[in-house]
Amino acid sequence: MSSPTQRTLALLRDEGYLADVVEKWIPGANVRKDLWGWCDIVAIRDNTTYAIQCTSDSNVAARVEKIEDSDTIAVVRRAGWKVEVWGWKKVKNRWRVRKVDVS
């Protein structure tokens, strides 16, 4: 099974975005650290820059709250970036994504 991050990257690339993972693995601590504490993927195309948090559909609300509580979100918004949480859920054997804009 692919992860929400892998599915998000694939969809963005299919839509023509240049996209990459910006979270990092911290060896020894055995944890992942998101960019600014909440961003998993950065994607660009034409005049659009996305900061995306990807997760399961059931965790979308918690991720939105995490972003809203962040000290960094105001700077990202002022820079004109689109900020979204993408929640993935399997429906009738197909993956579906719910996108929540928190820009």
Domains of the chain by range and CATH?
Answer: 4-101 (3.40.1350)
User: What is the mean pLDDT of the segment spanning 47-64?
Assistant: 96
What type of residue is 33? K
Interatomic CA distance for residues 36 and 34, integer angstroms: 6
Q: Convert the pLDDT of each residue in 69-92 to its tens digit.
A: 999 999 999 999 999 999 999 999
pTM to 2 decimals? 0.92
Structure tokens at 49: 């820059």
**10 Å Cβ neighbour count for 7?**
16
3-state class (DSSP) for residue 8: helix
Phi, psi of 44 (to 5 degrees): -135, 150
Interatomic CA distance for residues 78 and 93, integer angstroms: 39
